[in-house]
Amino acid sequence: MPQRKSQYHLAADMGGIGYITAVHADVARNNVLMNANMLEASHINGVGRFFFSSSACVYPLYKQKEPDVTPLKEEDAWPAEPEEGYGLEKLFMEKLCQYYYEDHGLETRVARFHNVYGPLGTYEGGREKAPAALCRKIALAKDGDEIEIWGDGKQTRSFLYIDDCLEGIYRLMQSDYREPLNLGSDLMVTIDELVDLIAGIAGKRVRKRYDLTKPQGVRGRNSDNTKMRQVLGWEPQIPLEKGLEITYRWIEEQLRKAGRLPCP
């Protein structure tokens, strides 16, 4: 008997904090329709295992009000207060995956991504995330220039390199674990520290100008990887500095190809 195929649902209408805080209706509608239809199509067509890429945006805002945040465990998602729009539709889809298993026997796997970054991603235009946006700003800056930082730079996050993300997805899909699982690094840094790391990779000194009128998202967020280590027997391996260097060099090269940076 042939083995039934797996379906990986990684698509989403999303972007950086500026986009997902400004476009609630479109983001929620587009993702709910996309997610529900992908799940139903997988059920109708006899897919053996369905992967859904959820987000750390499902976690309650009331647990993310301080920079020195307690790492978020999977069970912290309830009682719920997710981020408006994007976080709410992700949390709804997590429950829909549960219902499709309970009602139809469709094996579902759900990973909550924590700030995935890397080369080949969006780095300008309004949908880029913080690592890519800062790489672009620093690449375009001259030594000693000033760059704009959204917020006061003290907000905290953890960042997961794309190769680790893919390894985690693969391991989760091979497992028997049906509950949502964090997929992120547990190394928390401030945005100021992220800027300093990228500037060091670029070999530049930059001055920071803080814009407190721009959205900064939750004050602090970090991943508790206890359950990930138990379920997958693994945790992310690629250091932030290494992932940022690969990402920065790729973005720098794209800007050079576009004629926005001089050839070395």
User: Is 264 a domain residue?
Assistant: no
Average pLDDT for the chain: 97
Is 161 designated active site?
Answer: no
- Residue 4's pLDDT is 83
At 184-217, the pLDDT tens digits run 999 999 999 999 999 999 999 999 999 999 999 9
User: Is 111 a domain residue?
Assistant: yes
CATH number of the domain residue 111 falls in: 3.40.50.720
At 89-121, the pLDDT tens digits run 999 999 999 999 999 999 999 999 999 999 999
CA distances from 123 to 48, 120, 128, 136, 248 (A): 35, 9, 5, 7, 10
- Domain enclosing residue 52, as ranges: 6-257
User: Is 234 a domain residue?
Assistant: yes
Within its chain, how far is the Cα of 115 from the centroid?
Answer: 3
pTM, entire model = 0.96
Closest CA to 52 of 83, 12, 24, 25: 12
User: Is 262 a domain residue?
Assistant: no
* Phi, psi (deg, nearest 5) at residue 116: -75, 135
User: Is 172 a domain residue?
Assistant: yes
- Residue 1's pLDDT is 43
Closest CA to 50 of 12, 93, 105, 6: 6
Q: How many domains does the chain have?
A: 1
User: Is 228 a domain residue?
Assistant: yes
User: Is 92 a domain residue?
Assistant: yes
- Residue 171's pLDDT is 98
Q: Of the listed 86, 117, 123, 248, which one is catalytic? A: 86
User: Is 195 a domain residue?
Assistant: yes
Give the containing element (helix H, strand E) for 84: none
Ranges of residues in the chain with a pLDDT under 70 are 1-3
